[in-house]
Amino acid sequence: MTGLSPQVTLDEIREEVADLETPEERIGYLIELGQSLPDLPKELQTETYRVQGCQSAVWVVPEIHSESIEFLGSSDAPMVRGLVAILLAAYSGKSPQAILDLPIAEVFQELQLQSFLTPMRSNGLHSMVQRIQSIARATLPIAEALAQSASTFSKASNPIGARGLPSLPRISIERCREDFPILQRLLPSGKPCVYLDNAASSQRPLEVIDCIRNVASEHYANVHRSGHDFAAQTTMAMEEARTVLCHFVGAHSTDEIIFTSGTTASINLVARSWGDANVRAGDEILLTEMEHHSNIVPWQQLAARTGAVIRWLNVREDFQLDIEQLEQVLSPRTKIVSVTAVSNVLGTINPVRSIVDAAHRVGAKVLVDAAQSVPHGNVDAQGWDADWIAFSGHKMLGPTGIGVLYGKRDLLEDTPPFLGGGNMISSVSREGFVPAGLPHRFEAGTAPILEAIAMKPAVEYLQRVGFQEIMAHERKLAARAIEELSSIPRLRLLCPSSPEGPSSPEHKTGIVSFVVDGMHSDQIGQYLNAAGIAIRVGHHCAMPLHARFGIGVSCRASFYFYNTMDEVEQFIEAVSRAVR
């Protein structure tokens, strides 16, 4: 492959373009430039190297050296070949860091590309840039990769904070409630609602609400398809959200970030696509007793289809996983371990990395249900080494109907797509189809576009508050609630304990669940609702966990960073009155 790179340099392109006056002359030059591009060998014109998001077929092929990356590229469209030639002249032969640092938007502005390119071509050009940058990012050490900007395609550059997210102005815990319109709403009693059902769904700040409204009113269109301005802007916004989520979870590439309709859909995708292709009769699936139904039922369905066996990791009396049992239930027959990072009933924070390491030692894959973990920023694809991570937007300030599945690239590439239809294909004929590359092969049909775009301001808002601040505030509220609830007669807390004392908040998030002996939990929930306090009552989609402790339902208060100590006091007083 070495030596096939185009001979024309970026400086030579600048000189040629400087003498061109009309759009027609520039288009003619692009076609001539494309003709000078060396032919790409047919064996490299494959889906592995194809750039998704381009209307024409475009291939970009890297050759990675110790300190630089050489690129080959081509397209089946003459003018697009010229755009490929410009990108190769700009990027080929540079180090990964230099590729990411290159102000490519300034290069495009200098060449006046945007003045005569159609939106369709501009959209494809952006996709090519993203592809090249993702290759460069993947070759950097992880610590360096996460220090990159969410999008160097933009002219504006931001200093980078934790996990590669742009460093944004901070939001104090004390004033954040002003950003949530629903928290200002008064009940018929004249009091504001005390919203303590955040584990079910968080509320949304104005930035997320405004984002949805702005896209819908200014440039909404379908993505990755049409060539008009609206489509280009909307596609750009959606892919920028994917980039932010890539950095948020610590993925190597945006190709590893798949948009779904939620955690449930993400887990079902893995169970159906990877599970059906890899799990056979006699294989074992390991779950824990504290899983949400969405992380139980898809595996039960897989077991019914294949003849696999489900094994269980128990929950101890102190409401933590029996990790010592792990070596007993894992075996060479274990194909997959699917575990929650945080229990949606107990708030227990599980030792994900220890579970992943143990599973990998026997050759098993691991899926982590991070639905209750992402609201606190506790997601780390590289630190966990998980094979898949699933989560939803509506628990982390984002909209409903949007979720994310992170998967290791090699696994995703070897997994057949589950849903078939538009957008997930490269080509279709009467004889069959060829699936698209990542991540689009798993995104059949029209995506939840507005919802996906709004994930960007949701993540950015959480970052501005600060993940450490969020967890510290939650634990402060939970500690107060646990302390006071512990003194109420007949009330039993469902919280993990530690050497520091019973029901220590250090092993959990801001979830506080409880039951009252001799009293149905629904009575307590209705009493609190009448007092303007919203909690959750039920089995919380975790019936096996409730059965483990001999209870049918429980009460759950779940605190978040916009809750206050005054709300905790109102909650405690209302529970005390209800029990009395």
pLDDT in tens, 158-185: 333 334 455 567 888 888 999 999 999 9
Position 255 pLDDT exceeds 60: yes
Position 13 pLDDT exceeds 50: yes
Question: Could you tell me where the DSSP H helices lie in 76-118?
Answer: 78-91, 96-101, 104-110
- What does the pLDDT average to over 83-111? 88
In a domain, 412, yes or no: no
- Looking at residue 530, its amino acid is A
Torsion angle in degrees (nearest 10) through CA of 356, 359, 363, 369: -60
Higher pLDDT, 532 or 121: 532
In a domain, 109, yes or no: yes
What stretch of H or E contains 388? strand 388-392
Domain-ending residue, one of 104, 124, 145: 145
Instruction: Let me know whether 367 and 481 are in one domain.
Output: no
How far, in Å, CA of 502 to CA of 568, rounded?
Answer: 19
How far, in Å, CA of 528 to CA of 496, rounded?
Answer: 24
Domain-ending residue, one of 145, 180, 197: 145
Instruction: Let me know whether 24 and 137 are in one domain.
Output: yes
Q: Output the pLDDT for position 174.
A: 85
- What does the pLDDT average to over 311-338? 96
In a domain, 113, yes or no: yes
- What does the pLDDT average to over 401-419? 95
Supply the range of the domain harboring residue 291.
Answer: 263-392
CATH of the domain at 487: 3.90.1150.10
In a domain, 498, yes or no: yes
Of the listed ranges 63-77, 143-157, 329-343, 547-561, the least confidently predicted one is 143-157
Q: Output the pLDDT for position 5.
A: 43
Instruction: Let me know whether 269 and 371 are in one domain.
Output: yes
Q: Phi first, then psi: what are they for 560, rounded to 5°?
A: -135, 180
Q: How confident is the model at residue 326 (pLDDT cuts 50, 70, 90)?
A: very high
Of the listed ranges 167-171, 280-284, 528-532, 563-567, the least confidently predicted one is 167-171
Q: Output the pLDDT for position 422.
A: 87
When mean pLDDT is compared over 48-62, 151-165, 509-523, the highest value belongs to 509-523
- What does the pLDDT average to over 404-414? 96
> Cβ(222)–Cβ(409) under 8 Å?
no
- What does the pLDDT average to over 425-446? 90
Instruction: Let me know whether 476 and 349 are in one domain.
Output: no
Q: Output the pLDDT for position 123.
A: 60
Q: Which positions are annotated as active-site residues?
A: 541
Q: Output the pLDDT for position 160.
A: 31
- Looking at residue 197, its amino acid is D
In a domain, 112, yes or no: yes
Nearest to 446 by CA among 179, 187, 225: 225
Domain-ending residue, one of 332, 361, 392: 392
State how far the alpha carbon of 321 is from the alpha carbons of 192, 312, 341, 350, 549, in Å.
38, 11, 11, 7, 14
Q: How confident is the model at residue 63 (pLDDT cuts 50, 70, 90)?
A: confident
CATH of the domain at 384: 3.40.640.10
pTM above 0.85, yes or no: no
Nearest to 538 by CA among 353, 345, 270: 345
pLDDT in tens, 199-235: 999 999 999 999 999 999 998 998 877 667 788 788 8
Q: How confident is the model at residue 143 (pLDDT cuts 50, 70, 90)?
A: very low
Nearest to 65 by CA among 166, 153, 136, 11: 136
Which residues fall within 8 angstroms of residue 237, CB to CB, at 6 or more apart?
215, 453, 456
In a domain, 15, yes or no: yes
Tell me how many domains the chain contains: 3
Strand pairing partners for 389?
368, 406
Share of the chain above pLDDT 90, in %: 60
Helix 455-465 with 206-218: angle, nearest 10 deg: 160
CATH of the domain at 60: 3.90.1010.10
Nearest to 268 by CA among 162, 418, 427: 418
What DSSP state is assigned to residue 185?
Answer: P
Q: Output the pLDDT for position 504.
A: 53
How far, in Å, CA of 392 to CA of 399, rounded?
Answer: 9
In a domain, 453, yes or no: no
In a domain, 292, yes or no: yes
